[in-house]
DNA sequence: GCCAAGTTGTTGACGTGTCACCAACGTTAG
DNA sequence: CTAACGTTGGTGACACGTCAACAACTTGGC
């Protein structure tokens, strides 16, 4: 995804922008595994319950909050979504009866997203299958050392991304 | 993204579907780093050249093929895209002058996607910046051992995904 | 109290991805 | 040959994400 034929050999050096062969392979594996893992999880959710990964994230965050209620700003912050995206998404989920909106008495501008009973039933039905899929596909039979190494890598990657 | 409050302690066991605390942390880190890495790469491409990650993938695959020409089916297979998605995307890129379509003499049904001169200029301008961003953000200052560990993990993950 | 500036949430327009369907063509069995 | 079937690529409808703009509200300085 990142290397043009012909430049490979000629331009490789410490100061060139290119990736070496091993980096190349790892990078493409990362892209591939990501795409396919996401697709597998989405398929599993969709088949089991007709929900998308986005729906699932919203439902989980609501269900983890007291009374299944979260201020919409805070939800957008946590999910790292744009407000308008969340607003559109809540509208769609509201139509399906999974969430509701409530006005906010403390701040006249604000609003809460609230999990409905139907939404809570759904998330409790769906979560175990999702967790199992993640465990089987993502973690597999990793050893403790391998898990620790992965932990260090993702933590380091996040730190690098934070620096920007 | 995968654990409902309240179930955490009670249901953890070898046969339960849930993730333990460390798996939980690593999984959320993986999701986070993915989302943010993708966003960073997209931002870089968009600012530098007005292209999306999807545009970039198409351009790279075309530029890596002889005469910048690939059968559309094959391109869809390589990218793991739906044909209709690729068809729509090629239409949009065609309007911007980055690619063209050519009929196929060997197979009357078939068609080629062809890189235009303009498209080739663009990809050659954009690729170095992209590669540099990947190297800086994704690989950072990884040691050889860390890189090898990452290689093993992504390879294993892909193998697990293939088994399905 | 009052005005300027910032915050919260929503909306509409637009670009893009997915799905179902279709036309055109190739391939193969009879 | 031809009828049946699979393949290739395209189209329209719809779902979704982003952006710009907006109304309603709060906050802080005066």
Q: Dump the DSSP string for A89-147.
A: HHHHHHHTTSEEEEE-SS-TT-EEEEE-HHHHHHHHHHHHHHHHHIIIIIITT--HHHH
Task: Please give residues of chain A from 3 to 42 whose alpha-adjacent beta carbon (CB) lies under 7 Å from any atom of strand D.
Answer: none
| pLDDT score at A7 | 38
Q: How far apart are the C-alpha atoms of B55 and A159, rounded to whole Å? A: 28
| pLDDT score at A15 | 61
Mean pLDDT of B58-84: 88
| pLDDT score at A77 | 92
CB contact under 8 A, B160 and A137: yes
Confidence of residue B7 (pLDDT cuts 50, 70, 90): very low
Confidence of residue A133 (pLDDT cuts 50, 70, 90): very high
Confidence of residue B162 (pLDDT cuts 50, 70, 90): confident
CB contact under 8 A, B29 and A155: yes
Structural domains in chain B plus CATH codes: 51-129 (1.10.10.10)
Q: Which nucleotide is nearest to B43 (CA to C1')?
A: D18
Mean pLDDT of chain A: 87
Interhelix angle B117-133/B21-49, nearest 10 degrees: 140
Say which residue, A44 or B13, is predicted with more confidence: A44
Nearest to B27 among A127, A134, A156 (CB): A134
| pLDDT score at B110 | 83
Given a cut of 80, is residue A16 above it in pLDDT? Answer: no
Given a cut of 50, is residue A50 above it in pLDDT? Answer: yes
Q: Please state whether strand C lies within 7 Å of residue A88 at its CB atom.
A: yes
Where is average pLDDT lowest: A28-32, A41-45, A93-97, B3-7?
Answer: B3-7
CB contact under 8 A, B150 and A17: no
Say which residue, B110 or B157, is predicted with more confidence: B157
| pLDDT score at A90 | 95
Nearest Cα residue to A4 out of B85, B28, B62: B62
Nearest to B33 among A17, A142, A161 (CB): A161
Q: How far apart are the C-alpha atoms of B104 and B74, rounded to whole Å? A: 13
Q: Please state whether strand D lies within 7 Å of residue B105 at its CB atom.
A: no
CB contact under 8 A, A64 and B5: yes
Query: Residue A4: its chain B contacts at CB < 8 A?
Result: 60, 63-64, 123-124, 127
| pLDDT score at A137 | 92
Given a cut of 50, is residue B2 above it in pLDDT? Answer: no
| pLDDT score at B82 | 86
| pLDDT score at B15 | 63
Given a cut of 60, is residue A65 above it in pLDDT? Answer: yes
Q: How far apart are the C-alpha atoms of A157 and A151, rounded to whole Å? A: 10
Q: Please state whether strand C lies within 7 Å of residue B90 at its CB atom.
A: no
| pLDDT score at B67 | 85
Range of A60-64, B16-20, B38-42, B74-78 with top mean pLDDT: A60-64
Mean pLDDT of B107-113: 83
Question: Which residue out of B24, B30, B57, B130 would a mutagenesis test of the A interface target, given it has the greatest number of A Cβ atoms within 10 Å?
Answer: B30
Given a cut of 80, is residue A1 above it in pLDDT? Answer: no
| pLDDT score at A14 | 52
Where is average pLDDT lowest: A59-63, B1-5, B132-136, B155-159?
Answer: B1-5
Nearest Cα residue to B20 out of A126, A34, A139: A139
| pLDDT score at A5 | 34
Given a cut of 50, is residue B8 above it in pLDDT? Answer: no
């Amino acid at each position: 995804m990142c290397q043009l034929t012909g430049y490979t050999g000629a331009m490789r050096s410490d100061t060139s922008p290119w990736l070496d062969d091993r980096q190349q392979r790892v990078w493409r594996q990362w892209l591939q595994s990501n795409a396919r893992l996401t697709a597998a999880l989405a398929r599993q959710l969709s088949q089991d319950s007709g929900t998308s990964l986005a729906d699932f994230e919203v439902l989980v965050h609501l269900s983890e909050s007291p009374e299944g209620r979260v201020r919409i700003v805070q939800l957008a912050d946590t999910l790292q979504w744009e407000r308008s995206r969340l607003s559109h998404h809540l509208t769609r989920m509201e139509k399906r009866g999974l969430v509701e909106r409530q006005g906010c008495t403390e701040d006249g501008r604000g609003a809460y997203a609230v999990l409905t009973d139907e939404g809570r039933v759904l998330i409790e039905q769906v979560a175990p299958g999702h967790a199992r899929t993640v465990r089987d596909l993502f973690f597999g039979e990793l050893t403790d050392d391998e898990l620790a190494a992965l932990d260090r890598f993702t933590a380091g990657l996040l730190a690098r991304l934070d620096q920007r």
